């Protein structure tokens, strides 16, 4: 048994033993669980992929004369201004003004909120255009100027939903090509796409939310971030297999971090033909090895994690909940899976190679004594479910 | 006679040269086998042609000189399709949709994506499916 304080003391003294969630598997195999649990302090987990529920709050500071922005666009992408005079919120899936969307399907969606966020982190100069109705103390009614992230007082990323514990494997059994947020799905079940880092993914290494909770420190695209809440659609009360691994979506994390500290490599604008824009984000989450049970669950392997094959031509859009079967991540990562007695190719929307890189970067930061862990002060619920939106008449 | 070799050529046609049957002459006068990947040749507009030519070194060199006499720009090193390694995040979404395995994952333990330009036939399928804009076409 170790405490957070003991682990942090070892990190601070530069003596912490840190391994990635990939390295730990063979290590525990050779050393044995008990000996490894006594020796290893932290296991690093990571994921990189489109994280649709993402955005950022930006504070511009005040112009002379002052303006109370009521509508604002950054690079022609609408930002939400209903916060304060010069605070705006930029959402990752917001389209650029005049984007034809799916008017001539499938649309291209070349630029949007996710690209604005990526461009900000990359240090690019962007245009701000804002309007106002004018008030006594904020008389300016229109402003057009250029800025970089360095000109902003604060640029804070917020991901209300990140690190989905597990995810659907998308297939298309219809006779036409589908263009979805899970990528291009060929007709007649000719391919599947998945989106998870599998054995490296944060919540698959802490499936029962024993260490990752509200207040946990995370590596968010290179910045020191933290979990600020359970993620939206968090549904810990779910079907689990014999390894406690959810067989579907399940848990999520809400994350935040300072964009000024982020690395452009891990913040990317996403354009999904036929679907829209989003943001690709890289996240690393350290897991403190408090006891043997925590370590045992960090030793999860791709072949022990299964994901539900879901038809995006009918079952997904109609929310039937029907699942065509399950497939494990070892098969998915091989590039081919067996479906209905046929071998079909499997593609990914999540970058495992980036996840490996992030897990190694975070491990190096912890080893060097730079990155301390924080004890969560609220644990995430394992007994809540995701509610559907009911269409109903007014009840009162 | 030297052994036949294959070279990839990218030709840019200025407005006025489009009527000339250049490809026909490459076959007839220079004994080349041509394999066209992509072409856009419209009268009164600039055009382009990406092709493999197979023949002897001497004949290919002579053919390139011949093409240049028409004021056609010949690019022997340029690629019609470029994969930007830094823009690529390595998600692997493209790999399934690449018909010739030019975009591929050499090592399934690291899952990094690699691009073999020699195998690319410029179908441009990757441009649409890449979420990060890593693949671009020269035209």
Q: What is the pLDDT of residues A166-193, one digit of tens each?
A: 999 999 999 999 999 999 999 999 999 9
Domain annotation for chain B: domains and CATH numbers: 5-75 (3.30.70.260), 81-137 (3.30.70.20)
pLDDT, position B1: 58
pLDDT, position B17: 56
* Selection from A23, A306, A205 nearest residue B109 by Cα: A23
- Whether the link from the prior residue into A311 is cis, omega within 30° of 0, is no
d(C-alpha A240, C-alpha A207), whole Å: 9
d(C-alpha A248, C-alpha B52), whole Å: 48
Choose the closest CB to B108 out of A50, A335, A350: A335
**Set of chain B residues whose Cβ sits within 8 Å of the Cβ of A280:** 89, 131-132
**Set of chain B residues whose Cβ sits within 8 Å of the Cβ of A93:** none
A38: part of which helix (H) or strand (E)? helix A33-39
Tokens of A395: 């009840």
Residue A379 C-alpha, separation from nearest chain B C-alpha, in angstroms:
31
Q: Which residues of B32-55 are buried (b: 16+ CB within 10 A; e: fewer)?
A: bebeebbeebeeeeebbbbbebeb
A230: left (phi over 0), alpha (psi -120 to 50) or beta: beta
* Selection from A329, A355, A353, A41 nearest residue A201 by Cα: A355
pLDDT, position A316: 97
**Is the pLDDT assigned to residue A307 strictly greater than 90?**
yes
d(C-alpha B68, C-alpha B88), whole Å: 36
Task: For the sheet with A336-339, list strands across it.
Answer: A325-328, A306-311, A169-171, A192-194, A342-348, A336-339
For all residues of chain A together, what is the average pLDDT? 97
Tokens of B42: 């419209």
Counting residues of chain B whose pLDDT is more than 90, the rounded percentage is: 59
d(C-alpha A220, C-alpha A197), whole Å: 16
Residue A392 sits at φ, ψ, to 5 deg, of: -145, 170
A184 touches chain B (CB under 8 A): yes
* Selection from B45, B23, B50 nearest residue B123 by Cα: B50
**Is the pLDDT assigned to residue B12 strictly greater than 90?**
no
Q: What is the CA radius of gyration of chain B?
A: 17
A271 touches chain B (CB under 8 A): yes
B60: part of which helix (H) or strand (E)? helix B57-68
Neighbours of A350 (CB within 10 A): 27
**Is the pLDDT assigned to residue A346 strictly greater than 80?**
yes
Alpha helix stretches (DSSP H) within chain A: 4-12, 23-31, 33-39, 113-121, 202-205, 292-298, 329-334, 352-367
Neighbours of A64 (CB within 10 A): 6
**ipTM, 2 dp:** 0.94
Residue A318 sits at φ, ψ, to 5 deg, of: -95, 5
Inter-chain contact A333–B108, Cβ cutoff 8 Å? yes
pLDDT, position B42: 77
Tell me which of B48 and A363 has the higher pLDDT: A363
Choose the closest CB to A347 out of B93, B110, B128: B93
Inter-chain contact B89–A268, Cβ cutoff 8 Å? yes
Interface test with B, best of A25, A105, A107, A184 (most B CBs within 10 A): A184
What is the average per-residue pLDDT within B122-134?
96
Question: Which residue bears the tokens 């698959």?
Answer: A204
Q: Tens digit of pLDDT for each residue in A176-235?
A: 999 999 999 999 999 999 999 999 999 999 999 999 999 999 999 999 999 999 999 999
pLDDT, position B18: 58
Tell me which of B16 and A48 has the higher pLDDT: A48
Alpha helix stretches (DSSP H) within A258-351: 292-298, 329-334
| pTM for the model | 0.95
pLDDT band at residue B78, thresholds of 50, 70 and 90? low
Q: What is the CA radius of gyration of chain A?
A: 22
Residue A162 C-alpha, separation from nearest chain B C-alpha, in angstroms:
17
What is the average per-residue pLDDT within B74-85?
86
**Is the pLDDT assigned to residue B13 strictly greater than 70?**
yes
Taking one residue from A and the other from B, the number of pairs with CB-CB distance under 8 angstroms is 71
Counting residues of chain A whose pLDDT is more than 70, the rounded percentage is: 100
pLDDT band at residue B83, thresholds of 50, 70 and 90? very high
Choose the closest CB to A334 out of B108, B110, B113: B108
Chain B positions touching chain A (beta carbons under 8 Å): 89-97, 105, 108, 110-113, 128-129, 131-133
**Set of chain B residues whose Cβ sits within 8 Å of the Cβ of A184:** 93, 97, 128-129
Q: Tens digit of pLDDT for each residue in A60-79?
A: 999 999 999 999 999 999 99
**Set of chain B residues whose Cβ sits within 8 Å of the Cβ of A277:** none
Helix (H, G, I), strand (E, B) or coil at A386: coil
Residue B18 sits at φ, ψ, to 5 deg, of: -70, -20
pLDDT, position A142: 98
**Set of chain B residues whose Cβ sits within 8 Å of the Cβ of A353:** 90, 110-113
- Whether the link from the prior residue into B47 is cis, omega within 30° of 0, is no
Inter-chain contact B131–A345, Cβ cutoff 8 Å? no
Inter-chain contact A348–B113, Cβ cutoff 8 Å? no
Tell me which of A185 and B7 has the higher pLDDT: A185
d(C-alpha A136, C-alpha A81), whole Å: 19
């Amino acid at each position: 048994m170790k405490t957070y304080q003991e682990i942090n003391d070892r990190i601070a003294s530069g003596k912490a033993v840190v391994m990635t969630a990939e390295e730990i598997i063979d290590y525990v195999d050779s050393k044995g669980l008990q000996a490894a649990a006594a020796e290893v302090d932290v296991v690093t987990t990571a994921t990189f992929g489109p994280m649709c529920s993402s955005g950022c709050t930006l504070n511009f500071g005040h112009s002379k004369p002052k303006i109370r922005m009521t509508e604002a666009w950054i690079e022609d992408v609408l930002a939400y201004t209903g916060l304060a005079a010069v605070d705006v919120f930029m959402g990752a899936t917001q389209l650029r003004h005049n984007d034809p969307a799916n008017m001539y399907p499938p649309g291209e969606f070349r630029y949007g909120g996710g690209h604005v966020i990526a461009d900000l982190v990359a240090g690019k100069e962007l245009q701000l255009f804002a309007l106002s109705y004018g008030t006594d103390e904020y008389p300016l009614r229109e402003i057009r100027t250029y800025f970089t992230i360095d000109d902003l007082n604060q640029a804070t990323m917020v991901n209300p939903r990140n690190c989905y514990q597990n995810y659907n494997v998308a297939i298309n059994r219809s006779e036409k090509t589908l263009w979805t947020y899970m990528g291009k799905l060929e007709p007649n079940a000719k391919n599947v796409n998945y989106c998870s880092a599998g054995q490296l993914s944060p919540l698959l290494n802490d499936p029962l939310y024993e260490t990752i909770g509200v207040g946990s420190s995370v590596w968010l695209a290179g910045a020191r971030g933290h979990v600020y809440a359970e993620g939206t659609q968090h549904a810990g009360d779910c079907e689990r297999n014999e390894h406690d691994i959810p067989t579907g979506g399940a848990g999520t994390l809400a994350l935040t971090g300072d964009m000024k500290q982020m690395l452009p490599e891990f913040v990317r604008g996403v354009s999904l033909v036929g679907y829209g824009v989003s943001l690709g984000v890289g996240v690393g989450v350290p897991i403190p090895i408090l006891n043997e049970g925590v370590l045992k669950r960090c030793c999860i392997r791709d072949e022990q994690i299964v994901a539900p094959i879901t038809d995006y031509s009918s079952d997904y859009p109609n929310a039937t909940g029907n699942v065509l079967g399950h497939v494990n991540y070892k098969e998915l990562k091989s590039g081919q899976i067996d479906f209905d007695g046929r071998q079909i190719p499997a593609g990914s929307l999540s970058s495992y190679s980036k996840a490996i890189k992030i897990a190694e970067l975070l491990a190096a930061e912890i080893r060097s004594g730079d990155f301390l862990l924080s004890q969560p002060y609220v644990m995430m619920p394992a007994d809540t479910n995701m509610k559907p939106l009911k269409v109903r008449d007014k009840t009162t | 006679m030297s052994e036949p070799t294959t070279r990839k050529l990218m030709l840019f046609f200025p407005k006025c040269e489009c009527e000339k049957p250049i490809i026909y002459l490459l076959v007839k006068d220079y004994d080349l086998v041509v394999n066209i990947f992509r072409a856009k040749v419209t009268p009164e507009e600039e055009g382009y042609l990406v092709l493999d030519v197979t023949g002897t070194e001497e004949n290919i060199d002579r053919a390139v000189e011949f093409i240049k006499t028409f004021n056609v720009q010949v690019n022997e090193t340029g690629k019609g399709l470029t994969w930007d390694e830094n823009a690529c995040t390595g998600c692997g979404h493209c790999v399934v949709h690449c018909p010739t395995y030019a975009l591929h994952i050499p090592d399934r333990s690291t899952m990094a994506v690699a691009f073999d330009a020699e195998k690319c036939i410029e179908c441009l399928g990757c441009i649409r499916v890449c979420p990060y804009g890593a693949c671009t076409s020269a035209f």
